[in-house]
Amino acid sequence: MIVQSSQETDGTVVLSIMTDSLDRSNAPTFRSTAAEAIAASTGPVVVDCSRLEFLDSSGLGALLHAHNLLSEARRPVRLTRVGVKVLTLLELMQVHRIFALEPRA
């Protein structure tokens, strides 16, 4: 399982990435699961990145796809528990500003 989707009582969708790598081999699965969860909800979306250690361009594209689906409805995407490696990549690609980021403690 690449991603686990759940919905909190306030309508927030939580997408928990269940693998250490979001790349071309599993980004399409994340993209479709995220799209289904977003379509079925009206609240914000939280992506739990606590297990994520590697992100390639396909994985980044999947996260941006979720952001684009939500930006039309003006709903936020928040990446939580983001590790140093993933945070560094987001900063290098200059996309860290479009997500609300919560680094790992």
pLDDT tens for each residue of 38-48: 888 888 899 99
Report the predicted TM-score, pTM, of the whole model to 2 decimal places: 0.89
Q: Are 42 and 59 in contact (CB under 8 A)?
A: no
CATH topology of domain 3-103: Transcription Regulator spoIIAA (3.30.750)
pLDDT in tens, 53-90: 999 999 999 999 999 988 766 777 899 999 999 999 99
Q: In which element (H, E) is residue 103 found?
A: strand 100-103
Q: Where are the domains of the chain?
A: 3-103
Say if CB 101 and CB 87 are below 8 A apart: yes
